Structure 1
């Protein structure tokens, strides 16, 4: 089937940038040769594409931005405008393709359709066959196109050479749709609108003489696939095959090309759980970068853009993994609102295996390495308004700025270490192993990890959630620092009112240094209101929740401590002050920290990926866990 080419209108590019807050600016020093058209899939569906070719003689390697927003009308789509011009300067084409049912592409919109990956593989093969292409294709993008790059790479198209996924998801259910088994109402609602961000182009294209775009838009909508309605109707992992077949860590193992992956720890939209999926990749072909901050903000860093362009060029030009000169793992810390880090820690290994440490809750409300010797209980009202309430009224920003709202007395339980005697380099996921009781059949739990600084300010570090009825564990995937819940309908079990019940809450991966003199604090509260871009549809029935501490009810925090880095690059004299670190806001601490000092320098590991103290605890309480969490 023939392909129609015609100029990409600058007005179209500008409109896309306005609609989706694209980072695209001027086209850069190299003026590309712009064209657009439609490419055919094997079932006859026509996908809209937009293409920027470098000046000069081809053929050229190409970087594909395959997206559900509007890549078919703007090859930079969202947030790729800083990297795209650098590729053109290096003689690399940039092509954007709108997936089926979006933008000006034909087909019906189905959220997270299992066709997206196979379609992407066909697109890669089509690009490789074009006369302007030298047959070498890479995929890249932020968020949606990052997800599609992974889903396509799983298909192993022969022409694919590398992928650069920035802030993707690794699992649809656990990362986005139902964090902790709680419906992510805000994200599903917003996506219902965002999936149509390319629709305004139908009018513009029609005025330019192209009727195909308007015709395609008319056929994209299916009332059975309205994102928020459909997502609300499939609340368990086994409710829909897409949860386990679209993209999972097990599927990501199939990717056989080099990957430069990037995760934002405080990502307020997709979270940082994609880290687990990246850990399943072939270490010899994987480079990773983790940074604090918001969703996709890494593309504003000139340092990262240079790394991204180097990576794509290296593998598009036939370079091998052994020749790409970059650390296997980079941890950027103190990434500020100026979009550059204060500190870069590097490691020559991937994945990085931290030491597992445990802090036990004590009857006085402190967290310490030794198990408690006496019993106690702490209670909070559920769901008393938490600090993230009234986001859109008071703080119209979908990041962690809602954390700045007041902490109301009685709405949470806080467990705190004494001041740390030395820096604590936390790394990876963590597990809040809680023993709770409530005169209710179900409650939703939010745990918030914060750093209480010597000046009395609390810096946000990370969060996790769990609906108590979803507490059943997937024993094959769970680890001491990573509880993985089954989220299957047959495993759902209500609480027995008044009965003390163990549950493990996953805290998403993070890399954060708790400075000497600071304290680590764990809040246990209700997820009422917004947490970044997430408004979780919590169980609204009021109750009182008690957190139990004692030898037989070992409430605790199990987390990882990173080894010393291979190298440390300090870009500023000191880490940015409280309030200048992106997406890690600070607020006044509502209570004092325990007296004394806590040293964890010589604390032994409490178990790695399996075994140690966790195994002993599991064996001791296996009958109780089996009865309450699985049956």
Structure 2
């Protein structure tokens, strides 16, 4: 970076931009406070490598740990390019292979939040993030939380966030759309912080969010309906965190008499959950949540009454469960969904908790079978409008496979209704400001291609039958 700053074509001010691991690097470099680094744009990144990455969620092991880890391992073992490193490429390559170990094996040695994860997690050193930061992600991405964490923790005019409908992609090529003129946003950011042009980006809203509207659940969308809104900070003061009780009749505002409802979810619960993060939404694979009715059949479900007026949810729902289990190890998966008048169920947000991590990710403790516990589970942030005739559903299961590795033994979870609650951040008066429209997306002209046959990827879940055909997943050409 010092070399860049010293070049004749540079004014001495350097910016960093990157997505995914490149986004991590920008934040980590900012925390090292390099003198030449004057601004960062971070996309689909994290501030916490344990709690907000593809390894663990709520202390539960994500299968993305093995998925991405296996891909990473194969790339790390590739030979070096002689044109880049010279005649000694082979010796360097063999030296690397001698010490290379499968990354998931390394990560699985650190199932608790320890020094391994704290290293490189900028949430440990927020006070060192002194340069301007623009944080960007999408609702279909697994790294949405970084936007809200940075805006809340730093709380400065030179820290902004954008969350669109996209997956793990740059917003000017964002899918689901609408894509935005992200390159123009980058130019404005660099002009202000690297060239000192007074374009007033620091006076713009702290957060610009795509407020999503209902769309029938399916594995892929080209576009998601909604609108851009602006918030002055995070958490926002424009929502009312209303408390709803989990009762035997559903979600209500007042508590009924205590009852006990038990669930031992089938190991197939979670097949409709979708991917932890949608990496390949550019017509490669259907990765988004399917109709949740399939998974709801193996879950406890609690519904609100039908809404007569639109209800806007913006924020992170907080569930407090009064529960017991019959095993020393168990997990709980919670999904919050939009139930349409035709019965279709679209997942809006969700959360996971390894119940041995109920008090600490660094010092987990086994459960005592049969003992009652009060646990808290915060769901991911969301921005969604529940339309008239729709209702909210909270679904609770003990399995979320294949997104999450299952517990060692099947567990039965007992939920004590009446005392169990969920806070829903609603703004019934729809008092959010419209965000100024983004410019039209621009990007380099793609190279010409010849389409041999149109692509149409699908996911199909077919049940297996004893003595009959086995279940299979298919991808149509």
TM-score, normalised via structure 1 length: 0.60
Say which one has the larger Rg: 1
Gaps of 5+ in 1: 1-123, 473-485, 572-584, 588-631
**1:535-561 Cα distance to aligned partner (Å, 9 max, x none):** 3222131232222102xxx11111323
1:26-61 C-alpha deviation (Å, 9 max, x unpaired): xxxxxxxxxxxxxxxxxxxxxxxxxxxxxxxxxxxx
C-alpha change, 1:199 and 1:497, in structure 2 (3 Å) is closer
Question: What CA deviation, in whole Å up to 9, does each residue of 1:474-518 have, x standing for no partner?
Answer: xxxxxxxxxxxx2123xx222222222221122111222222321
Q: What is the deviation of 1:454? A: 2.0
Kindly indicate whether structure 1 or structure 2 has the higher relative contact order, using CA contacts under 8 Å at least 6 residues apart: 2
Q: Could you tell me which residue of structure 1 aligns to residue 196 of structure 2?
A: 318
Partner of residue 182 from structure 1, selected from 43, 49, 60: 60
* Cα distance in 2, alignment partners of residues 463 and 319 from structure 1: 42
Which residue of 2 is the match for residue 34 of structure 1?
none
Q: Secondary structure at the match of 2:145?
A: coil
State the partner residue of 2:346. Answer: 459
Contact 2:336 / 2:395 at 8 angstroms: preserved in 1?
Answer: yes
Confirm or deny that 1:289 pairs with 2:167: no
* Equivalent residues of 1:422, 1:516 under 8 A apart: yes
User: Paired residue for 1:565?
Assistant: 432
Q: 1:446 to 1:437 in 2, by over 3 A?
A: same
**Displacement of 1:273:** 5.2
Instruction: Specify the SS of the correspondent of 1:165.
Output: strand
When residues 231 and 323 of structure 1 are mapped into structure 2, their CA distance, relative to the original with a 3 A threshold, is: closer
Match of residue 618 from structure 1 = none
Q: Aligned-pair distance for 1:340?
A: 7.5
1:359 corresponds, among 244, 247, 269, to: 244
2:269 to 365, 386, 389: 386
> 1:451-476 CA deviation, whole Å, 9 max, x = no partner?
1122321111111101111101xxxx
1:79-158 matches, cutoff 5 A: 124-158=1-35
Residue 261 (structure 1) aligns with: 135
Structure 2 residue 416 is the aligned partner of structure 1 residue 548: yes
Give the CA deviation at 1:373: 3.0
CA contact (8 A) 2:148 2:234 kept: no
Deviations 1:69-110 (A, max 9, x none): xxxxxxxxxxxxxxxxxxxxxxxxxxxxxxxxxxxxxxxxxx
Structure-2 separation of matches of 1:277 and 1:400: 27
SS at match of 2:353: strand
In structure 1, distance between residues paired with 2:346 and 2:106: 37
Give, in whole Å, the separation in 1 of the partners of 2:156 and 2:244.
31
Question: Residue 256 of structure 2: which of 373, 378, 393 is its match?
Answer: 373
Preserved CA contact (<8 Å) 2:291 2:346 = no
The alpha-carbon deviation at position 409 of structure 1 amounts to 7.0
CA distance in 1, matches of 2:23, 2:123: 15
Query: Could you tell me which of 510, 529, 542 is aligned with 2:401?
Result: 529
Change in 2 beyond 3 A, CA 1:246/1:284: same
Residues 1:389 and 1:224: Cα distance change in structure 2 (over 3 Å): farther
1:212-252, Cα deviation, whole Å (9 max, x unpaired)? 655544443564753100111111113xx132232142423
Q: How does 1:162-561 map onto structure 2 within 5 Å?
A: 162-176=39-53, 177-194=55-72, 197=75, 200=78, 202=80, 205-206=81-82, 210-211=86-87, 214-221=90-97, 223=99, 226-238=102-114, 241-268=115-142, 270=143, 272=145, 275-296=148-169, 298-300=171-173, 301-319=179-197, 322=200, 324=202, 326-334=204-212, 337-338=221-222, 342-349=226-233, 352-353=236-237, 354-364=239-249, 366-370=250-254, 372-388=255-271, 400-401=287-288, 403-404=290-291, 407=294, 411-472=298-359, 486-489=360-363, 492-530=364-402, 535-550=403-418, 554-561=419-426
| C-alpha contact 1:387 1:404 (8 A) present in aligned 2 | no
Secondary structure of 1:527 counterpart = coil
Q: How many residues align?
A: 419
Partner of 1:109: none
Mapped to 1, the partners of 2:251 and 2:354 lie a distance apart of 24
Runs of 4+ more than 4 Å apart? 198-201, 212-216, 221-225, 320-325, 389-392, 395-400, 568-571
Q: Contact between 2:212 and 2:384, CA under 8 Å: does it hold in 1?
A: no
Asked if the contact 2:263–2:413 (Cα under 8 Å) also holds between the matched residues in 1, the reply is yes
Match of 1:598 in 2: none
* 1:414–1:524 CA contact under 8 A, matched in 2: yes
Q: Contact 2:329–2:408 at 8 Å: present in 1 too?
A: no
Q: 1:442 offset after TM fit, Å?
A: 2.0
Q: State the shift of 1:521 in Å.
A: 0.6
Structure 1 residues 385 and 326, CA gap change in structure 2 (3 angstroms): same
What's the secondary structure of 2:52's corresponding residue?
helix
Measured in 2, the distance between the counterparts of 1:462 and 1:391 equals: 12
Deviates more, 1:272-281 or 1:150-159: 272-281
Q: Which residue of 1 aligns with 2:441?
A: none
The CA RMSD over aligned residues, in Å, is 3.3
| Rounded Cα–Cα distance in structure 2 between residues aligned with 1:426 and 1:167 | 22
Structure that is richer in helix per residue: 1
